[in-house]
Chain A
């Protein structure tokens, strides 16, 4: 029978089509699961949950809509917008935002958190890179699973890429795939393509909610020059400088860079120009994203250790130190949390009449000592 199947074209065709259908269904199930919305839990400090579509109804029901968590103090004060997941493979920002949602309590002012700003980007991974799509953090109540996404909006949600992407409203030309890069689309466009609409919703939220301070949390590969750094709009430069100094004094090496005026579409530029907010972006080091890396697996994603990068550091090819200890996720998240704490402190000192008082966030040293899992709520269905 097998000989018949192999030798007779029609039987061979039927067998191959059946095999192709089986592979398509099996892998299709895996890809379809990547589109299921991920559950992000509210901590005790959350006053209100909403979605980005509240600020742009055109996003409602689309893959671009994303949860927004509002933590409000009893006293009025300033408004702080914390963004994670603008680039979904840069996971320390998302994890720091989730820790904020699940632990922070605001006594004065408001903290608005968007843990997965580009939610579409969490439904896929970078083609041909072999990135893991999920990673697990152990908590005292069991393991929790989170998504590791891709820098850009999923092309099944926004297609095709133009040959040349023209930023709105500046007219700056960029390579076509930047049309799906959330951090090149700010301030966005309400009737634009999906990534433009997500950018617009975030900017509109900052406008409507009177946001005074924005921190957009990112990561970069170790051979990239803008790394372990704050990038600040000119209005925010003094506050960012104070934050950097305090981080340095606590032993956390952090650079500082002014937001280039001619580089458009990025959060630190456009939130500062389009709103009254102090706009800052932070970068930590993620070796999974880099070109020198060796085996690409969950171990690299979590532990951040790579022999190739150790060698590259010894040859002076990197912009961050890289030892056998690597850059584990816990250290990167700790840096983001330390940045949040110092930025809020610096902002409050500069704006004593409208502070944002946030309690309950773990410090840098607490997170390193106890681990990420110690500050996560028990797992529920969906994570």
Chain B
């Protein structure tokens, strides 16, 4: 079970990494297109990081 837990936490950390990356793109990008797309990508990765979906 420990191995399964490690895999699951790896998954959630990876998702969190992508979510944080998307937040950085939204904040730092001057282009509205990049900001909109990053905010769209952020939503499912945030939920994956929370383990909800």
Q: Give the interface of A toward B (CB within 8 A).
A: 6, 9-10, 12-13, 16-17, 19-21, 23-24, 27-28, 31-32, 35, 58, 124, 156, 158-160, 191, 193-194
Contact = CB atoms under 8 A, between A and B. Distances in A.
Contacts of A159: 7-8, 11
Contact size range, B: 20 to 34
A24 B47 contact: yes
Contact of B52 (A6, A13, A28): A28
B21 interface: no
Contacts of A124: 53
A189 B27 CA distance: 48
Interface centre among B7, B27, B36, B39 (most CB of A within 10 A): B39
Nearest to A22: B43
Contacts of A24: 42-43, 46-47
User: What is the predominant secondary structure among interface residues of chain A facing chain B?
Assistant: helix
11 contacts: A9-B30, A13-B35, A28-B52, A156-B8, A156-B51, A156-B52, A156-B53, A159-B8, A159-B11, A160-B7, A191-B1
Nearest to A191: B1
A19 B39 contact: yes
A31 B42 contact: no
Given A10-B27, A12-B35, A20-B43, A160 B52 contact: no
Closest 4 CB pairs of A and B: A16-B39, A20-B39, A31-B53, A24-B46
Given A13-B27, A193-B4, A160 B39 contact: no
A27 B27 contact: no
A9 B52 contact: no
Interface of B is mostly: helix
B46 to A, nearest CB: 5
B32 A12 contact: yes
Contacts of B43: 20, 23-24, 27
Contact of A20 (B8, B32, B42): B42
Contacts of B36: 16
A28 B52 CA distance: 6
A159 B46 CA distance: 17
Contact of B39 (A9, A17, A35, A156): A17
B16 interface: no
Interface in B5-53: 7-8, 11, 23, 26-27, 29-30, 32, 35-36, 39-40, 42-43, 46-48, 50-53
Contacts of A35: 52
A9 B7 contact: no
Contact of A13 (B11, B26, B48): B26
A30 to B, nearest CB: 9
Nearest to B7: A159
A28 B27 contact: no
Nearest to B30: A9
B42 A194 contact: no
B34 to A, nearest CB: 10
A201 to B, nearest CB: 14
Contacts of A19: 39
Given A27-B43, A156-B48, 8 more contacts: A6-B32, A12-B32, A13-B35, A16-B26, A17-B42, A27-B53, A28-B50, A28-B52
A163 to B, nearest CB: 15
A17 B23 contact: yes
B30 A31 contact: no
Contacts of A32: 52
